[in-house]
């Protein structure tokens, strides 16, 4: 393509230890509460973006052309083009190494990689803060994948969203023994997408105000626990926070229930292992997959026990990972 401007970015997914569930401003994707996550080495999206020529944007994700634009990727491209003062269609090729739309934060890594690659291809030079704000407008949790290690998404209070962005609480090397084991119990796309589910919960859940109030307290507990490397404090708060989030989903109208029998099998197993003295806790996002929090010395035993559970198809071990970055090797 003549006059083609191309860039490629790689971004890891992040799994929230304190969840984001519900937007106070759906257009700008501003959350009701702050959140905290671990950027996960091992759950990765690579995206190449090129701007050139006229016509329609071409978007290929895992070898399939995008037809149902649930995340409004084209709208996000328009946002970047406007910011850069450019025109021209985009060609995007994106690959992930884990199931998408299944509760493994594929939109976080996908929109973070897209934001960084598209911004670079468009000639923008943005700070991590500004990249985070931009990524947030594509997918809320994507703002956290811009950064590595343990990352907090500030709720902010400004109506224009200028103070709602992600910042690094601790780099990956701060807690090298921290492990998150993603248990894949289903590769199927979840029945209710996160955007629709959040809106439904905010509109109809009678307990939503209590969720916001307690999530803010959980955030303080987990932030301090990360800084002091207090595994029990972080993991116990994360498990309870996830259960509270799913409780709000289950009490919406109509109810949203992402759990499967295999999800419950893993949850009950982890609680039983804990009674035996194994430091293991679980968390879940909007989907059936369970993520187990543990420490490196116990990882082999946790994996051994997971291999004996009928409902677990496979596992992915995640360590604290790096933030989004540009790379020289392109996908096209």
Q: Residue 36: inside a domain, yes or no?
A: yes
Residues 140 and 273 in one domain: no
**190 and 158 belong to one structural domain:** no
Q: Which domain holds residue 109?
A: 5-172
Per-residue pLDDT tens digits for 184-228: 998 887 888 888 999 999 999 999 999 999 999 999 999 999 999
Q: What is the domain count for the chain?
A: 2
Q: How far is CA 256 from CA 101, 108, 193, 200, 259, in A?
A: 15, 21, 10, 9, 9
Q: What is the pLDDT of residue 1?
A: 45
In the predicted structure, residue 3 carries a pLDDT above the cut 80:
no
Query: Per DSSP, what are the bridge partners of residue 291?
Result: 182, 283
Same domain, 11 and 137: yes
Q: What is the mean pLDDT of the chain?
A: 95
| CATH assignment of the domain containing 103 | 3.30.230.10
Is the domain of 160 the same as that of 197?
no
Same domain, 20 and 133: yes
Assigned domain for 125 exists = yes
Same domain, 206 and 253: yes
- Comparing C-alpha atoms, which of 98, 41, 36 is closest to residue 324? 41
CA gap 15, 216 in Å, rounded: 17
pLDDT score, position 102 = 61
Is 329 among the domain residues? no
| Inter-axis angle of helices 128-136 and 106-121, nearest 10 | 120
End of a domain among 120, 150, 172?
172
Single residue among 150, 172, 194 that ends a domain in this structure:
172
């Amino acid at each position: 393509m003549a006059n083609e401007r191309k860039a490629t970015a790689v971004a890891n997914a992040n799994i929230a230890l304190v969840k984001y569930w519900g937007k106070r401003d759906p257009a700008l994707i501003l959350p009701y509460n702050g959140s905290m996550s671990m950027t996960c080495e091992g759950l990765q999206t690579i995206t190449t973006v090129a701007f050139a020529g006229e016509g329609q944007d071409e978007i290929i994700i895992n070898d399939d052309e995008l037809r149902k634009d649930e995340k409004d990727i084209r709208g996000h491209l328009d946002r970047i083009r406007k910011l850069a003062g450019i025109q021209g269609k985009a060609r995007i090729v994106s690959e992930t190494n884990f199931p998408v739309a299944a509760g493994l934060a594929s939109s976080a890594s996908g929109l973070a990689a897209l934001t960084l690659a598209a911004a670079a291809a468009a000639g923008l030079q943005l700070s991590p803060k500004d990249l985070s704000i931009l990524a947030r407008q594509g997918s809320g949790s994507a703002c956290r994948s811009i950064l590595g290690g343990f990352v907090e998404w500030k709720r902010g209070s400004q109506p224009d969203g200028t103070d709602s962005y992600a910042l690094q609480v601790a780099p990956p090397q701060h807690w090298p023994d921290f492990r998150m084991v993603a248990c894949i119990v289903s590769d199927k796309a979840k029945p209710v997408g996160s955007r629709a589910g959040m809106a439904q919960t905010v509109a109809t859940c009678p307990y939503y105000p209590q969720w916001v109030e307690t999530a803010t307290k959980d955030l303080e507990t987990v932030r301090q626990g990360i800084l002091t490397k207090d595994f029990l404090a972080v993991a116990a708060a994360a498990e309870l926070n996830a259960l509270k989030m799913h409780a709000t989903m289950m009490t919406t109208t109509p109810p949203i229930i992402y759990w499967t029998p295999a999800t419950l099998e893993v949850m009950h197993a982890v609680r039983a292992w804990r009674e035996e003295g194994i430091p293991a806790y679980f968390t879940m996002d909007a989907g059936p997959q369970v993520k187990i929090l543990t420490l490196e010395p116990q990882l082999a035993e946790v994996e051994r026990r997971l291999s004996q559970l009928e409902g677990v198809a496979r596992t992915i071990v995640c360590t604290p990972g790096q933030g989004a970055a540009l790379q020289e090797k392109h996908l096209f």
